[in-house]
Amino acid sequence: MIKAIILAGGKGTRLGKITEKIPKPMIKIGGLTILEHQINLLRKYGVKEILILTGYLSEVIENFLKESNFSVEIRCLKSDPAIGNADRIKLAKKYLSDDFLVLYGDVMLDMDLKKLLDFHKKKKGFCTFVLHPNDHPYDSDLVEIDNNQRVLAFHPKPRSPKMCFRNLVNAGVYIMSPGILKYIKSRQDVELDLGKNIFPEIIKRQNIFGYNTPEYIKDMGTLKRLKQVTKDYLDGKIKKFNLSNKRRAIFLDRDGTINYDPDNLSNINDFKLLPNVVKAIKIINSSGYLAIVVSNQPMVAKGLMKIGDVERINGKMETLLESRGVKLDGIYFCPHHPDRGYPKENSEYTIQCDCRKPQIGMFTKAEKDFNIDMSKSWVIGDSKRDIIAGINAKVKTILVKKNQKKFQECPFETKRTNELYSAVKFLAKIGQLK
């Protein structure tokens, strides 16, 4: 089984008096320290050896471990609190002969680690970064990936507010090859940070993959976040979001449901959110449902866009949403179209496929990725095609249309409202969003 490292050397200055006498991993949530929660999670998934890389107030952690019995081998490696997290990992070099898992000691998480490890083994990459959308990406490191989940770029904070990226935040959980150690070249004048100094370099030279998950992974490095993490734990939210548990989802069409739908949207400058969309998604986020976009984008097949253009527009959508404090848990799009004869058509994508709505390929992919209970999920869209896809996928459906005459284009039985917000309010009213 894989070995795990817990980075537990930081000072936690943003937590003020709380960390004057204890390091961040020793803060208690629900009666257990963060460190205990992490060790228990690792034990649950069969990890037998854990290296805890300490620094600030290391003796507090060491004394705690002497008085505890976790039935796994735990070794503390003490280092100068002033060094960076990358340098700290390098100090563990002699113990790292195989791929290893890395956690930050101030992160509360509950993940299906088996699923993460299976992903890493399947991709056979140099490293796997765990990614997730969150509600504060503006002060987080963001990662770009392609359709094969290969990492294309790493964008550490701070960034220009004009830059638009997918809300794929570096969650601070990694599986690394020991080969990463050769990229950690210590300098006396620099605290080497993985995000700022190491990852941008190895991405240029190695195959790195991003594992996107909606599971609960949240640092508690500020008083506000510590309060929220504590509440989430007491509410049972942290455990519930583990991918071993079934989740409910609201599948959202994009054009005409989330944003204005000019004919053949292909220009990023034409993308504008519809009114009340942020309020609607905020309700979805707080409900425990996943918010997942499933969108046909045939302009790729017609030769008027490239895959990268669709991804940039999706990046703008997420940037606009995240700047208002809401998030999408997943985005799936189909670039295909079955018809030929367009002047600039891309023959690679002018095919019959199983993902273009009303087919359900995007739904089944999301169902597998997120372990979704389709019988308790919904689709909200603005076309007959969305409703048929929902029926085919065996989820409940809502059609949104401003123009009542447009409702006549969809003869199928479905709930009908005039916008996404009213659809979500309807679900709340009938008790679905609990």
Catalytic, 253? Answer yes
Give me the catalytic one of 135, 255, 329, 382: 255
H helices of 288-344, in order, are 307-322
User: Which residues are paired to 174 by β-bridges?
Assistant: 102, 129
Distance CA 331, CA 312 (A): 12
Q: Are 417 and 423 in contact (CB under 8 A)?
A: yes
Closest CA to 322 of 273, 369, 366: 273
Distance CA 131, CA 149 (A): 10
Distance CA 37, CA 372 (A): 26
Which stretches of 303-367 are assigned E, i.e. beta strand?
330-334
Q: Are 134 and 65 in contact (CB under 8 A)?
A: no
User: Which residues are paired to 372 by β-bridges?
Assistant: 247
Q: Are 372 and 393 in contact (CB under 8 A)?
A: no
Distance CA 206, CA 186 (A): 20
Q: Which two tokens stand for residue 186?
A: 């210590």
Give me the catalytic one of 99, 232, 253, 386: 253
Q: Are 213 and 130 in contact (CB under 8 A)?
A: yes
Place of tokens 């990492």: 151
Catalytic, 263? Answer no
**Strand 127-132, strand 208-212: pairing:** parallel
DSSP 8-state class, residue 383: S
CA atoms 128, 133, 137, 140: torsion sign: negative
Distance CA 119, CA 259 (A): 33
Catalytic annotation, residues: 253, 255
